[in-house]
Structure 1
Amino acid sequence: MSRLHEFLGENFVKEPASDKGLLEKFWDNNWGVTNSVGKIRKILVHRPDKEVHALQNAKFDPKAEALILRDDDGEIVSYCLHETAPDLALMQAQHDKMVSILKAEGIEVIELEDDGKLITNKLFARDVGMVVPGGLILTRFAFKFRYGETRLALRTAAKIGMPVLASIQGNGYAEGGSFAVLDAKTAIVGRSIRVNQEGIDQLRDILSWQGMELIVVDLPAHLIHLDETFMMVDRDKALVDITNLPHWFLELLQDRGIKLIITDPNDPPLTNNCLCLSPGKVLFSEKGQSTMKKLQENNIEVIPININEINAMGGGLHCSTLVLDRDDI
C-alpha cells in the first residue's frame, strides 16, 4: 500500500449505509423508516386523474364481481369493484381531503412522478416500494397492468434524492402493501398471490444487508396484502383482523409486548387499512364505526375520513400512501 493510500485509510466508511449522519450529510435527509408509527415526515401519493376515465370502457364481469377493463388485445389493464365506473371528481375530492389532513399534520406530501401513460392503479402508491432504514426497495408487481409503476417510483426517488437500495428481480414479485417494518431490526411480509417465495427470498437477502430479519406471514387466499389485516397504530398497539392471521403471529406480537385491538367483524372490508400518522394517532375510514370506537377506547386518536370512492378501486388509506420518512421511536 502506498503512503497516500495508507494515509487516506482514515477516510474509509465505517458506518452502515443507513447511518443517520451519512444520510443527512450526503443525501440531505435521514431517509427511510425504522418503525410503522413514528411521526410521518414525508409521504408519497398519486392524485387520481384522467387515467380513471378509461374505466368508462370497462365491462362488468359477474364472475369477477367487478368492472374489468381490457385492451385491444384482450389483456386486463385495470379493474374496479363498482358495477359502474367510479366518479373521478368525487375520488379526487376524497383524495384532496386526505392530502389536506396530511399537510395539516406537518407532513411533506410528494406526488408520484407521471409519464402520461395509462396506469389506473397508480392511485395506490403504497405498492411501488418498501421503505426500510436508509432508503427504498423497489417492488416487482405480480400483474403486468401495474408493471410500469415501478419506473415512476424510480423517477420520483431520483428527483427527490432518495437512496434506492435494491429492487426485486428475476421471477420474484413482492408489493409494498404486504410489507411492514416492525422495528429497526424486524420487518414483516405477507405471502399471498401478489408475493411469491422468490420475492420473499430476495427480500430477506436485501434486508440482511440492513441487519434486519424478515417475518413471513401466510395470508388466506382471499387477501392480497398484509395491510388488509394487520396495522400498527401505536408503539405497543396493533389493529388486527384475527380471522385472517395465524395464531402464532398473534402470539409473537403479544410476546413482544404489543396489545391487540381486534377489528370489529361487522365493519366493512379494508377497515384495517388505516394510516398511522404518529404514535397513537390514525387516519381512518369513517365506515369502520365499531372499530373506530374500539380504537378510541384504547386511547388511539382517530381522524375519520370518507374514502368510499377510493375503496371502489380496491384499496384504502394505507394503500394510497407510501411513507418515505418517519421519526424514530
Structure 2
Amino acid sequence: MTFDFGQFNNWGKLKTVAVRDVDTAFASDAKIDAEWKDLNFHSRPDLANARKEYAAVEAVLKACGAEIIKLPAGDGLTLDSIYTHDALIVTPKGLVKPRMGKPQRRKESDVNGQALEKLGIPVAGEITGEGKVEGGDLVWIDRYTLLAGVGYRTNLEGLRQLGELAGGDVEILWFDMPHFKGRSDVFHLMSCLSPLDHDLAVVYPPLMAVRQLEFLESRGIKFLEVPQEEFDTMGCNVLALGPRHAMMVEGNPETERRMKAAGVKVEVIKGYDICRKGEGGPTCMTRPLARG
C-alpha cells in the first residue's frame, strides 16, 4: 500500500485523521481518578460528559468528509493520549515517532506509530537520545517549509533528528518559545498560531517571537488576533477542516466573530471536559494524516 499524505500544510481539506476517543483514552472513572492530578489537568474530567462532547467532535469530522482512524489502547497510555496531534509527526518520508517532552507521554508515539504502520502507513523513524519533539510545536507552511517552536517540549536536538528523517529538501525554521507558565504548562507553537488558509491564521501575538510574526507576514499571511481574555479559553486552538473552515471550542465569541467576518465557516464544540481541563483543543485531539 502506498499512502498519500497529500498537501503539506495545516489548512488543506482534511482527508484522513487519527484520533483516540474518550472510551479508549479516559477508559474509566478509576483511571481518571488515578491520573488527572499527576498530568496537571485543571480539574477532574467527567467521563459521561466527556463522551458526549467527543461524540460531537467525531460528528464534525465525519460531516466534513474525513476518514477517521481510531487509535488503540496500549500499556502506559494516560488520559493525555486523547491528544493525538503531539505524539506523531507527518513528513514527506513518512511518519516520525517523536520523543515527547512530557515524560508521562513517552509511550504514546510507539503505540500510535505501530498501529498506523500495521495499516500500511510508512514510518520514517523516531526521535531518540536527548532529542525532544512534540507535534504541537510544528506547523507546515508548504511542502518544503516547516515552522518549529523550541521550548520545554521541543529542543534543537529533536529538530536536528527530525530534519534528517524528513528529508534534505525540508527547511525547518525554529523560533524560541517563551517561558510563560513554566515547565508544567501545556504550551506549544500552535498554542498561539493556527493556520486557516494559505493567507490567513489565528494568532496570539503577545506570546509570539517578532521573527516569527515577520516571517508569516513575509509569506502574505494575514492575522486574526485572539483577544487576551480568550487566550486562556483556547481561542487560538483552532483546527482547520479545510480552507477557511474550522472547528473551535465554545466560549470564545470575539474570536469566532472575527473568523466569520473573514469568511471562515466555524464549527463550535463544547470542550469543557475534553479540552479545557487538560488544555487540549480541537487541534490537539486530532492527528491529520492527509490533507487535500
TM over 0.5, shorter chain: yes
Native 8 Å contact 1:32 1:134 kept in 2: no
Partner secondary structure for residue 36 of structure 1: coil
Higher relative contact order (CA 8 A, sep 6+): 2
- Tell me the distance in 1 between the aligned counterparts of 2:163 and 2:75: 34
1:312 counterpart = 2:256: no
1:193 counterpart = 2:152: yes
- Tell me the distance in 2 between the aligned counterparts of 1:118 and 1:164: 20
Native 8 Å contact 2:77 2:107 kept in 1: no
Once the two structures are superposed, residues 94-134 of structure 1 have per-residue CA deviations (whole angstroms, 9 ceiling, x without a partner) of 11110111011111011112235442210100011111234
The equivalent of 1:35 in structure 2 is 9
Task: Give the alignment of 1:16-55 within 5 angstroms.
Answer: 26-27=1-2, 29-31=3-5, 33-49=7-23, 50=27, 53-55=30-32
Task: Give the alignment of 1:130-141 within 5 angstroms.
Answer: 130-141=89-100
The equivalent of 1:56 in structure 2 is 33
Once the two structures are superposed, residues 246-276 of structure 1 have per-residue CA deviations (whole angstroms, 9 ceiling, x without a partner) of 1121111111111111112121422111100
Length-normalised TM-score, structure 1: 0.81
The equivalent of 1:101 in structure 2 is 60
The equivalent of 1:164 in structure 2 is 123
The runs of 5 or more residues in structure 1 that have no matched partner are 1-25, 59-66, 70-77
Native 8 Å contact 1:204 1:214 kept in 2: yes
The equivalent of 1:79 in structure 2 is 40
Native 8 Å contact 1:51 1:119 kept in 2: no
Partner secondary structure for residue 68 of structure 1: coil
CA apart distance, 1:51 = 5.3
The equivalent of 1:277 in structure 2 is 241
Length-normalised TM-score, structure 2: 0.91
Residues matched between the structures, number: 282
CA apart distance, 1:230 = 0.4
Task: Give the alignment of 1:175-324 within 5 angstroms.
Answer: 175-207=134-166, 209=167, 211-222=169-180, 224-269=187-232, 270-310=234-274, 311-324=276-289
- Tell me the distance in 2 between the aligned counterparts of 1:210 and 1:35: 18
CA apart distance, 1:135 = 2.3
The runs of 5 or more residues in structure 2 that have no matched partner are 181-185
Partner secondary structure for residue 80 of structure 1: coil
Deviating runs (4+, > 2 A) in structure 1? 51-55, 115-118, 132-135, 204-207
